[in-house]
Amino acid sequence: MEYPGILDTIGNTPIVQLKKVLPFEKPVVLAKLEFFGPGGSVKDRLALALIEDAERRGALKPGGTVVECSSGNSGIGVAMVAAVKGYRAIIVMADKNSKEKQDIIKAFGAELILTPKEAHPDDPNSNYNTAKRIAEEIEGAIYLDQFSNPANIEVHYRETAKEIWEQTNGELDFFFAGIGTGGTISGVAKYLKERNPKIKIFGVDIEGSVYSDYFYKKTMPEPRLCQVEGIGGDNLPENVRFEYFDELVMVSDKESFSWANKLCRTEGIFAGSSSGAVVAALVESAEILKDFKLGVSIFADSGYKYLSKQFSPEWMRAMGYAE
């Protein structure tokens, strides 16, 4: 008998109903708990898909090197998959991201390179350009590039969206997810819209990001630093497919951290700050949602990765977020 390995446990995450945290009873809102994956986030799916796509294309050879630019979760996923498959992994990440994420990446044996959080996307020292440069300098290395690699959208179209459709019997009429690289929300939205064009797609954005201004005004503001990790953007990745979105809801750092704490204390769901942002967006959209019946939201990662941030009372007070 052949038994599964750790990578076989990626996907098929559970869905639960939010029963206490939201200040309304209708519509019914379900949360897809992506932190049940082995690497603790939705990015496990991405990491495996991007690496196996590179293998199929012959771009990644045995003993090769994978390089990725990450806010932490995709870096963890890539480090985990690389450890299992025997690749060298180099993860480039801005220094604003949590120490927990940094330590997990190193625990899997990956090399971690931190870049200054203030670096503009066009700066040679930005995490994007640093990752590209490293991949070019190392023989046999490949830059996975979750921001423009179509395999990012494809895995969520093929797997995540199909799971949501089956778990709700296709009865959902709206969907909420944070917008980071764009892969999760774009892949799921594409699948759902093909099956029911009436399903409304709500993207969750964070103050300081350029996405909302571009979506509503077609302008590009100067990005500002935000503390929430994994959502928002300082440029326009190819995998952010605005044509699939109906609404973007912008929330603040403080709201995101506050609702992540409330989520933990009311629902017993220990999720990260981007999940708090999703809850904040649902609350902000209560008036719009009153005519809907059933929706699904993505809770991307675990609160264990933010013990030094929103789940630290000292950090919350120091940052001015404590209530």
**Cα(178)–Cα(229) distance, integer angstroms:** 11
CB 80 within 8 A of CB 104: no
**Mean pLDDT score of the chain, rounded to an integer?**
95
Residue 43 annotated as catalytic:
yes
Tell me: the pLDDT tens digits for 134-165? Answer: 999 999 999 999 999 999 999 999 999 999 99
Average pLDDT over every residue of 180-199:
98
User: For position 155, what pLDDT does the model report?
Assistant: 98
**Number of domains the chain contains:** 2
% of the chain residues with pLDDT over 70: 100
Residues 196 and 303 in one domain: yes
- Average pLDDT over every residue of 113-128: 82
Q: Judge if 296 and 188 occupy the same domain.
A: yes
Sheet containing strand 174-178, edge to edge, reads 15-17, 28-33, 294-299, 174-178, 200-206, 247-251
Q: What is the 3-state secondary structure (H, E, C) of 41-67?
A: ECHHHHHHHHHHHHHHHCCCCCCCEEE
Average pLDDT for 3-21: 97
Contacts of 194-197 with CB under 8 Å at 24 or more apart are 195/165, 195/170, 196/170
Q: Is position 92 within any domain?
A: yes
Mean pLDDT value across residues 304-317: 95
Residue 98 belongs to a domain with what CATH number? 3.40.50.1100
Quick check: is 150 in a domain? Answer: no
- The answer to whether residues 178 and 121 belong to one domain is no
Q: What is the dihedral of CA 103, 106, 112, 117, to 10 degrees?
A: -10
Q: Residues with Cβ < 8 Å from 245, sequence gap 6 or more? A: 185, 189, 201, 202, 203, 215
Catalytic-labelled residue, pool 32, 43, 101, 305: 43
Residue 301 is part of which domain span?
6-37+158-318
User: Per-residue pLDDT for 83 more than 90?
Assistant: yes
pLDDT at 93: 92
Determine how β-strand 28-33 pairs with β-strand 15-17: antiparallel
Domain boundary (143, 171, 193) is at: 143
